[in-house]
Amino acid sequence: MTVYAIIGGTGLTRLEGLSIHQSLPLDTPYGAPSADIQKGEYAGREVLFLARHGHPHRFPPHQVNYRANLWALKQAGAEAILAVNAVGGIHPAMGSGHFCVPHQLIDYTSGREHTYFADDLEQVTHIDFSYPYSESLRQQLIAALAAEGCEFSSQGVYACTQGPRLETVAEIARLERDGCDIVGMTGMPEAALARELELDYACLALVVNPAAGKSVTVISMAEIEQALQDGMGKVKSTLARVLVANR
């Protein structure tokens, strides 16, 4: 049976309903992960959980130790990663509260430790990253969202920006010209590192605000927090459906 791990982003620093059997304070060759790996039972099956930004939420996107996080999850036994991301909506369909299961991404970040293949190599290693998300995991999320009756898009292009600031109107216009549908700050290098470790990986993105220039008002943290609060119940029930369907 596949061992699933859930990486919780902004708004999901703890997984209510997770019956914790162990809290694993793992160390890795790349330092400590953002938080202890929680190992327990959720929706009737064993699952691993990691708060991407720590608990409490203390690591900004550009300072998350993505290499340690993914390494620790694999060390704890993870085989498939369900990553939850709060994002801004660029495409007109991506309003607040909308879900997207992206099929592609573009990386606009810089300066992040983004690969395990960097030091003391006997030979250069390249991974095929043509399709950054596991299609089988994507389909599981899509089926769960449909069963939950959520408003969602079954594909989209995720733009990953550096953060922690939000983007300018001109930057969002550029991302839209590039073909991006949603924008976030944590999708990379997480997805690529999962591929290097041969872990299946898919993203469940919750739109929490229109991207810059996509609404008549300025983006407010109150608006984002409200969208997170409203959407987290659906996030949890969607994840539970994926786990139950694969018991």
Binding-site members are 10, 52-53, 185-186, 209-211
The first and second tokens of residue 61, run together, are 């996107």
Return the bridge partners of 100, or none: 153, 205
Point out the annotated binding site for phosphate.
10, 52-53, 186
| Residue 171 tokens, joined | 């930057």
Token pair, residue 173, equals 């216009």
Given 3-state DSSP classes, what are the helix, strand and coil percentages for the chain, each rounded to the nearest 5? 30, 25, 45
Binding-site residue positions for substrate: 185, 209-211
Q: Determine contact, residues 157/180, Cβ cutoff 8 Å.
A: yes
**Helix/strand/coil for 222:** helix
147 within 8 A of 139, measured Cβ to Cβ: no
C-alpha distances in Å from residue 44, one per residue of 11, 19, 89, 246? 23, 10, 33, 10
